[in-house]
Chains A and B, each alone.
Chain A
Amino acid sequence: MTAVVQVSKLRAYYQTNQFGVQRDVRAVDDVSLQVQSNEIYGLAGESSCGKSTLIKTIAGAIRPPLAVQGGSVVFNFGGRELDLYASGPEAAAAIRWKHLSYVMQGSMGVLNPVRRVRHSFVDFAFRHIAKPMPQFMDIVTAHLARVHLGAEVLQAYPHELSGGMRQRVAIALATVCKPDLIIADEPTTALDVIVQKGVLGMIREVQRELKSSLILVTHDMAVHANLCDRLGVMYAGRLIEEGATRDIFSRPRHPYTAHLIASLPRIGHTATIKALDGAPPNLADPPAGCRFHPRCPLAMDVCKQQAPAFVEAAPGHRVACFAVNPVGVM
């Protein structure tokens, strides 16, 4: 299996200059990961840990004040390689939607509000599906049926559809060209539980049929447990643990991950869950060394001075912690 996308030492900061004060918010600080084909890779972590920024950077949705400071994102679609930030915009435009698509957080506003839904399909997908318009519309209608939507949706305006319907349209839109890699940013947040279940099921169905890879970002660990093959945990702009979902849930090695898993409510579990002290660090001025050390129950002296390396503690399972891997390099 070849990696569909390879992220190496990626750094992306928000740089602001307000009234003479320059500030760098280090939202993505030296992240390296790989996603294989036909794999669902989950990104977990609490709010403002940088996971949204990470996938925006992977998708190339960079806009000032966000800027890439270093590292690379290399795609491999059907044998052809593309270094996103070393190539020009035309190369990026060529892969968009055909090979790489995106499901946005909160699909409330992703469709053009003054145009009917079918225009969005035409704008995004027509040029990739090289067929005349009537056939194209048939393909789109058939595809909509997969997400249990009728053809009348195409004639409607976005505000005439319910939230759940819009989310399904977004999924249909993202998958109509059968892309190799789909990036989904919190696709089920802000949906009620029943709709969530339907949407998740749909995502899993579509992924199984198309055999696309999927990077799924959500803070909801239950979704990760349900869908993802592999899971990466982020904290304060860095990946701190990564491995098969089952391993992470049954044997988390990083103290933060351990706490995250332990805090999930379980049926039959009645003891009080203890909260972690402190709060996530300010990414404009993060702590030196390991960024988790102010809150970590296992913190040692070396944790305050050096950042631990992200290395394998077991086959296919990487951790960044001195308590697990005493040898750290930064």
Chain B
Amino acid sequence: MRAYAAYLLHRFGQFLLVVFIGMNIAFVVTHATPIDPVEQSIAAATAFGSTSPEAIAMMRQSLRELYGVQGGLWPQYASFWKRVLVLDFGPSLSAFPTPVSALIWRALPWTVGLLIVSTTITWVLGNLLGGLAGYLRDNRSLRVTGLVLMGFHPIPYYIVALLLLIVFGHLWPVLPITGGAQMNMARGWSPEFVLSVLQHSVLPVLSLVLVGLGGWFMGMRSLVSNIVSEDYVVYAELGGVARGRILRSYVMRNALVPQVTGLAMSLGGIFNGAIITEQVFGYPGIGALLISAVHAGDYSLVLGLTTVSIVAVSVAVLAIDMLYPLLDPRVKVA
């Protein structure tokens, strides 16, 4: 028990380090520019509409604080962190005066839902297929599946999303290609709404799954084909243990251990993929929000989303780290 507590402490420390370094990078990026970010943001944000002078003054003030361009470097740093820690990024410039946190809060569930569903499907299915492919080396359909999956894997998320958009948008329009749910439908837990949500999520999920499967498949397959010659598997075969049991309890259980670590490491990349996929399919998550925020010059929103992204991914990694010792009893602190 003591070892587990020490391990947890260590991983929590790593979590704090990630958030700290991430936010510092954000700070450095925004303060290393040669241009005046405040004026540029205001110029971009007010370019298309007519905004009242009081509104502009409010924007300028909150931006100044966020950017921290008043005062010397250390006060800037302090006010930056003050805002970040309470997740108060002020009002959004493009959707003035809606606070940034409200916009993020509205979009976050869509992204979280998309990520949880697609990551779960990808990881479980990819590992299952890869494990079978590694154990049953002569199976033809597994080999063909493997080739197809590996064909999709190196292609970036954007291109696969685009291909799906073309196929289902122009060639065979059976699935909706934009939005999170039907536009004019009332939100809530009614069956029609839920069905509409499911329908609209098929393409984004499919896009993420197609790209991701290949990676898990390849990793699991090579892990399993190495594990199969490990002493404890050979011994179990010599002991006449049933094949199904060997596959589950000896091969898969051991192979999944590094795959869980791999999952934690790839969450950042999966998140990146989700952002771009949301953009292609007009899915109302924080990815699409981020991109439109950039186009609109809404610095507060962009910074807020960056912060939330870093924190969310780090929390997910921490959660996986905490579950890891349950799978592998050998884990040590370092």
Interface residues of A (CB under 8 A from B): 59-61, 63, 92-97, 101-102, 104, 106, 108-115, 119, 123-124, 157, 159
Contacts and interface: CB of A to CB of B under 8 A. Distances in A.
Nearest to A92: B240
B245 interface: yes
Contact of B232 (A61, A95, A111): A111
A110 B241 contact: no
B234 interface: yes
A109 B239 contact: no
Interface string B245-264: 10001100110010000000
Contacts of B240: 92-97, 124
B238 A109 contact: no
B50 interface: no
A112 B239 contact: no
A109 B328 contact: no
Interface in B286-334: 327-330
Contacts of A94: 240
Interface string B222-234: 0000000111101
User: Can you list the 6 inter-chain pairs with the closest CB atoms, starting with the nearest?
Assistant: A96-B240, A109-B231, A124-B239, A110-B235, A93-B240, A102-B238
Contact of B238 (A96, A112, A113): A96
A112 B330 contact: no
A60 B254 CA distance: 24
B250 A112 contact: yes
A108 B235 CA distance: 12
A116 B237 CA distance: 18
Given A97-B239, A114-B253, A106 B231 contact: yes
B220 to A, nearest CB: 16
Interface string B26-55: 000000000000000000000000000000
A114 to B, nearest CB: 5
Q: What secondary structure prevails in chain B residues at the interface with A?
A: helix
Given A109-B232, A157-B330, A115 B253 contact: yes
Contacts, number: 68
A283 to B, nearest CB: 20
A96 B237 CA distance: 9
Given A59-B238, A97-B239, A159-B330, A112 B254 contact: yes
B102 interface: no
B329 A112 contact: no
A108 B230 CA distance: 11
B58 interface: no
Contact of A114 (B236, B239, B245, B254): B254
Contacts of B237: 61
Contacts of B239: 96-97, 101-102, 123-124
Interface in B151-192: none
A124 B241 contact: yes
Contacts of A157: 329-330
A47 B254 CA distance: 31
A195 to B, nearest CB: 19
Most chain B beta-carbon contacts within 10 A, residue among A104, A110, A157: A110
B3 to A, nearest CB: 12
Contact of A110 (B232, B328, B329, B330): B232
Given A63-B229, A110-B231, A157-B329, 20 more contacts: A61-B234, A96-B239, A101-B239, A104-B234, A104-B235, A108-B231, A109-B230, A109-B232, A110-B235, A111-B232, A112-B249, A112-B254, A113-B232, A113-B254, A113-B329, A114-B257, A114-B327, A114-B328, A123-B249, A124-B241
